[in-house]
Amino acid sequence: MTIKIASSIRSADLSMLREEIDRCEVAGPDLLHIDIMDGHFVPNLTMGPCVVKKLRPVTKLPFDVHLMVTHPEHFIEPFADAGADYITFHLEAESHLDDCIEKARRLGVKVGLSINPPTPIEKALPYLDRLDMLLVMSVNPGFAGQGFISEVLSKIARAREEIEERGLNTVIEVDGGITDQTIAPAAKAGAEIFVAGSYLFKGGDMAEKIRVLKELGVSGQ
């Protein structure tokens, strides 16, 4: 599997988002991860579709939109219109998940389902066949800069096993606390896309950090 990096702009200097995205594009991640928080599903707020729409022409990087919202059914269309490539919503949301999957599919975006650290992976397995991506949270969502919860490794491994057994193309993304210390075990467990926020943006050479993460990810596999 090719190791991919999704840089999470939540950790960018938001006073100069365009410059930060330019900096990202030069550094060469595979995806731009955009965290959407509604102040209800998680105790924090970020941005809405109007901001994402304005950012769309700024970069060629695919937009990996992570909806941490209670009612994703209201936001799938606005974010698809805003230019999202992937739209991921949570298994724990108060929505009819089948309808959300259908809606995203109809709009031609790639569909992701995310699962929080305390939720058993078995709850996500019935959806795998209809997903492009399973996003396993390795922190409780809401804030950047938290520590990786290593208990989720067995959930990644279980999902990977199921994907292989069923011969699916569903990719596993892991989000939260990804650093040079945590990427190898997550890759070993079977993840292939790694969201990195604070690790990439907190200073230093972003391109070099992406290179290091990819190298460690490959060696962990």
Q: Which residues are catalytic?
A: 35, 175
**Site pattern 26..55 for ligand DX5 (x: CB under 6 A):** -------x-x--------------------
Determine contact, residues 172/186, Cβ cutoff 8 Å: no
Give me the amino acid identity at 61.
L
By CB under 6 A, the count of residues binding ligand DX5 is 22
Distance (Å, whole) CA 46 – CA 39: 8
Tell me the closest approach of the beta carbon of residue 71 to Zn ion, in angstroms.
18
Q: Quick check: 132 binds Zn ion (CB under 5 A)?
A: no
* Cβ atoms of 173 and 194 closer than 8 Å: yes
Q: Which residue is nearest to ligand DX5 (CB)?
A: 197
Residues 6+ apart with CB under 8 A from 64: 6, 31, 32, 33, 34, 84, 85, 86, 88, 112, 173, 193, 195
**Does 175 participate in binding Zn ion (rule CB under 5 A)?**
yes
Q: Residue 80 or residue 194: which is nearer to ligand DX5 going by CB?
A: 194
Q: Which residues bind ligand DX5 (CB under 6 A)?
A: 8, 10-11, 33, 35, 66, 139, 141-146, 175-178, 195-199
